[in-house]
Amino acid sequence: MKLKNILFLCCLLMIIPTKVFAWVESKNATVDKIIQWQDDAPTYFILSSGAVCFIPADEKSMYTLILSLKATGKKAQFHCWDDEKVTQGISGHRIHRVIADR
């Protein structure tokens, strides 16, 4: 009886949808373009990999890092959330982490 309950539970867990966190990841990418509006809208940037990510307006240190990477042309690893947000007709993923290479 216990084995049937365990099998039933395993089957049930396999068919129930679960939210999985996925990343939009770009390795050895450069910042090709930055899109900024005059208000408190997020700053969008397009990577050499083709990924479009954004920085919320209140994250000043991340904004500074992205501007520095754009100005120097240095490569980095970018990890953005999988969920998309649309601002002013541009769709992008919120930045999660940047690993800047030497």
Beta strands in 6-89 (DSSP E): 23-29, 31-35, 43-47, 52-55, 76-87
Tokens of 74: 């240095």
Domain 22-100: which CATH number of 2.40.30.20, 2.40.50.110, 3.90.600.10, 3.40.50.460 = 2.40.50.110
Task: List C-alpha distances in Å: 4 to 12, 15, 17, 87.
Answer: 12, 17, 22, 51
C-alpha closest to that of 98 among 48, 63, 56, 49: 63
pTM, whole model, 2 decimals? 0.74
Q: What pLDDT digit, counting tens, does each position of 7-30 carry? A: 665 555 566 654 555 788 899 999
Query: What are the tokens at 30?
Result: 């450069």
What is the predicted pLDDT for the residue at 5? 63
Report domain extents, the chain: 22-100
Q: Over the stretch 28-77, which tens digit does the pLDDT of each residue have?
A: 999 999 999 888 889 999 999 999 999 999 999 999 999 999 999 999 99
Residue 91 near residue 65, CB atoms below 8 Å: no
